[in-house]
A and B are shown apart, each in its own frame.
Chain A
């Protein structure tokens, strides 16, 4: 009897429960394969039993319900005055007013006053001065180089496109930052609101972009303003999160100092709390800007003009050289904005004494730069509008280079691709597709129960049940397979690379810097080399996912290994460990919780990238989302989005809890 009890308590049982279940089913149900036309209900969730006339073959017609709700919001007039859609469109029109202004400044000009847009020389000079002010000449150089590229390579209008994109960002980023800040403050001040906000942020951040693009199309329309609104929705959650974190981490004493000085609530907020949480809030702004940049390509799907739009068209036409040129522009802008906003976040106030010019050198420099630039623009038309004759384009050469490169590698790449497909991806896909949904629910439930409380188990089981009953089970499992395959490859690349990099300070620095640069690339960029190398296949999708999402794996491995306390390492060395023993017996076990967190991040990144990879034709959930987008099917888009979000959240809950418990066991705090 005791023996049975220990088996039930053991890890073994819980991890293998679903496989035992699978094995038992073979004997109970004869037609267990999914290839049979009507697979048993225990394998593939049955079709709708409620109503049954829904357009989707789900167990529960979530999609129909959501569409009914959307219809209601479109048509029902609140107080008989206006519909919800009128309301959202009203807000969008306000956003449009700001947009008109930034667009006029950056690329349209003010025709009614006969004033053109801001000449390029102004933008270039001011960027350089700002770079100097924020960190020094290296940052200034980066900013200068970025905008010089945009000016010089403007043969196909990259400068105008960039200005269009920047005009949209300069509306969406402040708006998202403001919304995030306000929600964050409210959440810190009102516990109840926080309880509501956290799960909302979790879901918003794990929903694929495309699923709310559809809702934006329905409730706002298309074009730049719709793009801006979609961007804001996508970009505010990290700001809210970092605001909450920042405000919560202010030392108790600083708050008490504020209270003892006799601050009122508002004085507390504006004079003590927000300034004290300045750095995390500024990092939030950095995050917002990066999210806005990631959205410039995605917002192009709903008709926002700019760099993203043209990149997308070039990608669709497989004009890779031109796409590459635009891609470089996007990446340069991303890196520049990232570094500038990071510098802003880390900037400490500086002590300057002396006369006015000495105290405010950058203010004076800006002032003189504006005067000099104005004179230049007035005297020479060259400085007003960079002449088209002097612009260059490398796209033809790039095209040729890419062609000859892929041609020379055609055979080995083809062999590699086919080998991957036949020996790794297809068998893996078969395994995932043969998993019964009942088994998967039991599996996640068992892990949840093993790790934590009943609550965790029930939550993850509910997530999986939602996916199963939504009618997208088979496609969801393809998504899971792609994510899993990428995760395995990422771990195979990321962990050894992390171990290698953590050996020496100099290596760590280089690798982390490269990670930083890669992380600033908007995700769509990764499709470029993938298509170049592997054309359209599962392999190219997974290639794109892997380069995008192995970054956190590497990063967390390095942090985990380098974070092992020095005294423990010294103790191990004095105990006589060899380098190998030190790694496997001391550093790796201690870094493991951190590596798990890295795997979790990698998983989230992959999930995002899988959705984008749908653009090059995979057959998982992302394809359905793209379909929903072209039919403006809001309900379908949202439900599939939720399926994706729940895949992510299930893994996230389990992995984070696992890591937390391991850290507790090792005695690490937080």
Chain B
């Protein structure tokens, strides 16, 4: 197991149907798609193994029904996986007692929901203080802390409002504040901005990045929006019909899509803004050329320079050592993904 991993999932299966444990056992924990279909099981998650590293933003991406929410819920044991192991800081969550689980959730996990899931009968302040209240904290202490978090998400002055009096964006800010009230180590966000209008969504993404730059949490973020994933993610896991198809940085997904499905997703992404010199260079050619570009330069920045010139460029790292080369050929190949297969 990766030592850095905050959460580590090993061969997670979640099947819906009659006595799925028995079925999995009979098929050696590895049934084929045909077997699953034939026996009328609905596979939500299939054999998912993934590590979430401390301090990273892992985005799980997939269309509806791909099993991304189920996988997230397996990580917090909101849903019991049919088979597999989930390690949280090295401890097996699935073997934890009810009491241990409550303890972990009270102190180490925070979760934000798609439809906000605010308690309608409580004010903003009471909603944010709720996780502290169930821990049994005194009213003054918890309200003080809640006020701090409300300030953090920019809702100062709205403490006494009821959720129904707030806009969608504001409600989700309350959701963010509530999940942060206990200062969790791990922050789960289940399509937190999907229910919001596009403009508000952008604003909330910025808000999220701002919060993360201050808080440095370990984050699992679910979305069905690839643009959102690229904007926020350190790493992206793409799911399709319950399977994790590919895990990697946004650049890796675009330059080396594992399947056609991933390629289809990445097709419309403006590459020039995302890719840097390193991700598209020719690694074999380490000859030093006259012209040099830095490995982290975005294509956007160097494209005109490279395309105007007939010569080849060297790609250098921070120590000025040559790690590869870049020519018109690589650049064009990277910018027009369709050409890749030819």
Stretch at the interface among B108-116, B261-269, B288-296: B108-116
Tell me the nearest residue of chain A to B99, going by C-beta. A264
Q: Check: A53 CB closer than 8 A to any chain B CB.
A: no
A contacts with B: majority SS: helix
Contact B111 A256 (CB under 8 A): yes
Q: Check: B49 CB closer than 8 A to any chain A CB.
A: no
Contact B164 A254 (CB under 8 A): no
Closest CB of chain A to B163's CB: distance in Å?
A: 10
Q: Check: B162 CB closer than 8 A to any chain A CB.
A: yes
B109, B118, B119, B123: residue with the most chain A Cβ atoms closer than 10 Å: B119
A278-B135 contact, Cβ under 8 Å, with A256-B78, A259-B78: no
Q: Which chain B residues border A261 with CB–CB below 8 Å?
A: 105-106, 130-131, 134, 178
Contact B135 A262 (CB under 8 A): yes
Closest CB of chain B to A221's CB: distance in Å?
A: 43
Q: Check: B160 CB closer than 8 A to any chain A CB.
A: yes
Contact B130 A271 (CB under 8 A): yes
Q: Which chain A residues border B105 with CB–CB below 8 Å?
A: 259-262
Stretch at the interface among A347-355, A392-400, A415-423: A347-355
Q: Check: B120 CB closer than 8 A to any chain A CB.
A: yes
Contact B162 A348 (CB under 8 A): yes
Contact B134 A267 (CB under 8 A): yes
Number of chain B residues close to chain A: CB under 8 A: 35
Q: Which chain B residues border A253 with CB–CB below 8 Å?
A: 113-117
Contact B162 A349 (CB under 8 A): yes
Q: Check: B332 CB closer than 8 A to any chain A CB.
A: no
Task: Report the bound CA distance from A596 to B16 in whole Å.
Answer: 35
Contact B134 A257 (CB under 8 A): no
A262-B134 contact, Cβ under 8 Å, with A257-B111, A348-B164, A351-B160: yes
Number of chain A residues close to chain B: CB under 8 A: 21
Q: Which chain B residues border A275 with CB–CB below 8 Å?
A: 119-122
Contact A262 B160 (CB under 8 A): no
Contact B131 A262 (CB under 8 A): yes
Closest CB of chain A to B69's CB: distance in Å?
A: 10
Contact A254 B103 (CB under 8 A): no
Q: Check: B66 CB closer than 8 A to any chain A CB.
A: no
Q: Check: B161 CB closer than 8 A to any chain A CB.
A: yes
Task: Report the bound CA distance from A263 to B182 in whole Å.
Answer: 13
Q: Which chain B residues border A264 with CB–CB below 8 Å?
A: 102, 134
A351-B117 contact, Cβ under 8 Å, with A264-B102, A271-B130, A271-B134: no
Closest CB of chain B to A126's CB: distance in Å?
A: 25
Kindly supply a per-residue 1/0 record for chain B positions 150-169, scoring 1 wherever the CB is within 8 Å of any chain A CB and 0 otherwise. 00000000001110110000
Task: Report the bound CA distance from A262 to B111 in whole Å.
Answer: 11
Partner of A351, one of B109, B110, B165, B188: B165
Task: Report the bound CA distance from A559 to B165 in whole Å.
Answer: 29
Tell me the nearest residue of chain B to A264, going by C-beta. B102
Closest CB of chain B to A39's CB: distance in Å?
A: 51
Q: Which chain B residues border A278 with CB–CB below 8 Å?
A: 121
Contact B123 A351 (CB under 8 A): yes
15 examples of A-B residue contacts, CB within 8 angstroms: A253-B113, A253-B114, A253-B115, A256-B113, A260-B131, A260-B188, A261-B130, A261-B178, A262-B107, A262-B131, A264-B102, A275-B121, A276-B119, A349-B123, A351-B162
Interface positions of A (Cβ within 8 A of B) = 251, 253-254, 256-257, 259-264, 267, 271-272, 275-276, 278, 348-349, 351, 353
Knowing that A257-B117, A260-B109, A275-B121 are A-B contacts, what are 10 other residue pairs whose CB atoms are under 8 Å apart, sorted by A's residue number? A253-B115, A256-B111, A256-B113, A257-B119, A259-B105, A260-B110, A261-B178, A262-B103, A351-B160, A351-B165
